[in-house]
Amino acid sequence: MEKLPKIGIPVIIVLIILIIIIAKSAVTIGSGEAGVLYKTFDNGVVTDKPPLGEGFHIVAPWNKVIIYEVRQQEIFEKLRVLSSNGLEIQIDASVWYLPVYKDLGNLHQTLGENYLQRVIQPAIRSAARSVVGRYTPEQLYSSKRDAIQEEIFEETKNILEKQYVQLNEVLVRDVTLPATIKEAIERKLRQEQESLEYEFRLVTAAKEAEKVIIEAQGKADANRILSASLTDKILQDKGIEATLELAKSPNSKVVVVGSSKDGLPLILGNN
């Protein structure tokens, strides 16, 4: 009976040590995450093998696993940049990015967990300054938003090409100009719109006038051709045809042929 406690204490100590070792060795990687293995006694970060995927893993207790999110992520940036004529412009943009999965070890080794602040944000700011500096405020406000969005994306992507980061999209949400510049641009755009509307009305009126002239000319030509073709003989024949048709009517009473001027028939009397 006295020996049992002496034997039980070492067993308990061993069990506690095993539990601690297992706890330090067990790693659970969640959905949308991946782990970079760091081997304390074997060249540090593992870069020649894929990262640890989702699920439960056992690693040596003296090694470490650094967990990264590998889903697409988004950051919002308010960028203050200068236009081509030196005016300050504010651009609100969203950036969609994610680390390159197979290069996660290299990313951790070269940039670390703060890779967003170290490379992505500086890259987007540099690209925005470069692109916006090529345009005037008027171009940025009206017709060039899609263009600058695409150019910022391409320049940022080129900067990040060898940084183990994948850039998916840059979205320019808003372009804010100084109030006085914005008012001047809007006033100019309204004047241009009014001018275009006035020109449209002039063109429409000119086309309507041309249409009336063409119709009048056509009627005049038709009347002239008709007048030239109506001889006395044709008129007499037409008159006879009309008289014969009227004679068939139950209302006609007397038809006198040849008694009118120019020898045309006459109809006299009604029921």
State the Cα–Cα distance between residues 65 and 154, nearest whole angstrom.
34
Per-residue pLDDT for 152 more than 90? yes
CA angle 27, 28, 32 (to 5 degrees): 135
Tokens 């300054």 sit on residue: 129
> Which of the 8 DSSP states describes residue 102?
G
The yes-or-no verdict on residue 245 having pLDDT over 90 is no
Beta strands in the chain, from DSSP E residues, in sequence order: 26-29, 33-39, 44-45, 55-58, 64-69, 73-82, 88-99, 165-176, 252-256, 266-270
DSSP assigned state of 49 = S
Distance CA 184, CA 186 (A): 6
Residue 55 CA to residue 101 CA, distance in Å, equals: 16
76-123 pLDDT tens trace: 999 888 888 888 888 899 999 999 999 999 999 999 999 999 999 999
Amino acid at 262: D
pTM over 0.75: no
Structure tokens at 8: 């039980």
pLDDT exceeds cutoff 60 at 2: no
The whole-angstrom separation of Cα 114 and Cα 121 is 11
Adjacent-strand bridge partners of 97: 73, 167
Higher-confidence position of 161 and 212: 161
Q: What is the pLDDT of residues 134-146, one digit of tens each?
A: 888 777 776 677 8
DSSP run (H or E) holding 257: none
When mean pLDDT is compared across 40-49, 78-87, 202-211, 242-251, the lowest value belongs to 242-251
* Residues in a beta bridge with 121: none
Average pLDDT, the chain: 79
Q: How far apart, in whole angstroms, are the C-alpha atoms of residue 262 and residue 238?
A: 13
